[in-house]
Amino acid sequence: MSAGGIGILGVGILFVLLALRVPVAFAMFAVGFFGIAALDSLYSATSLLASEAFTLGTSPELVVIPLFILMGNVASISGMSRRLYDAAYAVIGHVRGGLASATVIGCGGFAALSGSSVASALTMGKVALSEMERFNYDPRLSTGVVAAGGTLGILIPPSTGFVIYAILTEQSIGRLFIAGILPGLLLLALFVTAITVICRLRPQMGPPGPARPVREKIAAIAGALPILGVIVASIGGIYAGLFSPIEAAAVGAGLVIALGALGRQLSLRQLWAAARDSVVTTATVMLILIGAHMISPFLALSHVPDMVGDLIAALGLGRTGTLLVILAIYMLLGCFLEGFAMLVLTLPIFFPVVTALGVDPIWFGVLVVLTLEMGLISPPVGINVFIVKSVAPQVALADIFRGVLPFWAMMLLAVGILIAFPGIALVLPNSMFG
pLDDT at 91: 82
In this structure, is residue 7 part of a structural domain? Answer: no
169-182 tens-digit pLDDT? 889 888 998 899 89
pLDDT at 362: 94
Q: How confident is the model at residue 381 (pLDDT cuts 50, 70, 90)?
A: low
In this structure, is residue 20 part of a structural domain? Answer: no
Please report, for residues 24, 187, 198, 259, the alpha-carbon distance to residue 68 in angstroms, rounded to integers and kept in the order given.
23, 22, 35, 16
pLDDT at 190: 95
In this structure, is residue 21 part of a structural domain? Answer: no
Residues contacting 353, CB < 8 A, separation 6+: 305, 308, 309, 312, 322, 326
pLDDT at 420: 93
* Omega before 422 within 30 of 0, i.e. cis: no
Range 5-14, long-range pairs (CB < 8 A, 24+ positions): 6/35, 6/38, 6/39, 6/302, 7/35, 7/298, 7/299, 7/301, 7/302, 7/303, 7/304, 7/307, 8/302, 8/304, 10/34, 10/35, 10/298, 10/299, 10/302, 11/299, 11/304, 14/295, 14/345
Which of 311-327 are b and which e, b meaning 16 or more Cβ less than 10 Å from the residue's Cβ?
ebeeeeeeeeebbeebb
Q: How confident is the model at residue 115 (pLDDT cuts 50, 70, 90)?
A: low
336-351 tens-digit pLDDT? 676 777 787 788 888 8
Q: Calculate mean pLDDT across residues 264-268.
A: 84
pLDDT at 283: 82
Residues contacting 20, CB < 8 A, separation 6+: none
Q: Calculate mean pLDDT across residues 71-94.
A: 78
CB 147 within 8 A of CB 361: no
CB 118 within 8 A of CB 387: yes
Separation between Cα atoms, residue 165 and residue 159, nearest integer Å: 10
In this structure, is residue 10 part of a structural domain? Answer: no
Greater pLDDT, 9 or 338: 9
Structural domain harbouring 153 = 60-433
212-246 tens-digit pLDDT? 888 888 888 888 888 888 878 887 787 777 878 78
In this structure, is residue 26 part of a structural domain? Answer: no
Separation between Cα atoms, residue 196 and residue 190, nearest integer Å: 10
Greater pLDDT, 102 or 315: 102
In this structure, is residue 374 part of a structural domain? Answer: yes
Residues contacting 29, CB < 8 A, separation 6+: 49, 290, 291, 294
Neighbours of 258 (CB within 10 A): 13
Q: What is the dihedral of CA 292, 370, 116, 333, to 10 degrees?
A: -50
Q: Calculate mean pLDDT across residues 101-119.
A: 78
Number of domains in the chain: 1
In this structure, is residue 34 part of a structural domain? Answer: no
Q: For residue 103, give the 3-state DSSP assignment.
A: helix
Greater pLDDT, 156 or 141: 141
Q: What is the largest CA-CA distance in the chain?
A: 75
pLDDT at 83: 80
Greater pLDDT, 354 or 81: 354
Q: How confident is the model at residue 198 (pLDDT cuts 50, 70, 90)?
A: very high
